[in-house]
A and B are shown apart, each in its own frame.
Chain A
Amino acid sequence: MTTDVSGVMRPVATANGLPNDHYVDERIFLEERDAVLYNNWSGIAVAADVPEKGDAKPIEFLGMPLLLIRDKDGDVRVFQNTCRHRGMILVSEPKKIEGAIRCPYHSWCYSTKGDLVATPHVGGPGMNTHKDMPRSELGLYEVPSYIWLGVVYVNASGNAAPFEEIHAELLERWKEFDVPLYHGGEDSKFELDVNTNWKLAVENYCESYHLPWVHPGLNSYSRLEDHYNIEEYGRYSGQGTLVYRQLTGQEGETFPDFPNLSDKWDTGGEYITVYPNVLLGVQRDHAFAIILEPKAVDKTVEHVHLFYAEPKVDEALRAKNATQWKTVFIEDIFVVEGMQKGRYGRGFDGGRFSPAMDGPTHCFHDWVANQVTSHRQQLAAE
Chain B
Amino acid sequence: MSELQTRLLSAHEKDDREGLIALYTEAADQSNDMIERSFFLTHAFVFALEAGDMRAPLLHDRLREMGRI
Contacts and interface: CB of A to CB of B under 8 A. Distances in A.
A102 B46 contact: yes
B41 A126 contact: yes
Contacts of B63: 128
Given A126-B36, A128-B63, A128-B69, A120 B46 contact: yes
Contacts of A117: 49
Nearest to A126: B38
Contacts of A121: 39, 42
B42 A99 contact: no
Interface string A109-137: 10000000110110001111100000000
A346 to B, nearest CB: 56
A129 B69 contact: yes
B52 A98 contact: yes
B35 A125 contact: yes
Contacts of A118: 45-46, 49
Given A102-B46, A118-B45, A120-B46, A126 B39 contact: yes
A129 B69 CA distance: 6
A125 B48 CA distance: 18
Interface centre among A125, A126, A127 (most CB of B within 10 A): A126
B39 A109 contact: no
B42 A126 contact: yes
A100 interface: yes
Given A99-B56, A118-B45, A120-B42, A126 B35 contact: yes
A120 B59 CA distance: 13
A201 B29 CA distance: 63
Contacts, number: 52
B61 interface: no
Given A126-B68, A128-B63, A128-B69, A100 B50 contact: yes
Interface residues of B, number: 22
A222 interface: no
Interface string B13-49: 0000000000000000000001111111111011011
Contact of B50 (A98, A125, A126, A127): A98
A99 B51 contact: yes
A107 interface: yes
Contacts of A126: 34-42, 68
A349 to B, nearest CB: 58
A127 B38 contact: yes
Interface string A20-60: 00000000000000000000000000000000000000000
A167 to B, nearest CB: 37
B49 A100 contact: yes
A101 B69 CA distance: 19
A99 B41 contact: no
Contacts of B37: 126
Contacts of B56: 99
A101 B51 CA distance: 9
B37 to A, nearest CB: 7
Contacts of A125: 35, 38-39
Nearest to A98: B52
Contacts of A128: 42, 63, 68-69
A138 to B, nearest CB: 16
Contact of B51 (A98, A120, A127): A98
15 contacts: A98-B51, A98-B52, A99-B49, A99-B53, A102-B50, A120-B43, A126-B34, A126-B36, A126-B38, A126-B40, A126-B41, A126-B68, A128-B42, A128-B68, A129-B69
Interface of A: 98-102, 107, 109, 117-118, 120-121, 125-129
Given A120-B46, A125-B38, A126-B39, 4 more contacts: A100-B52, A118-B45, A126-B38, A126-B42
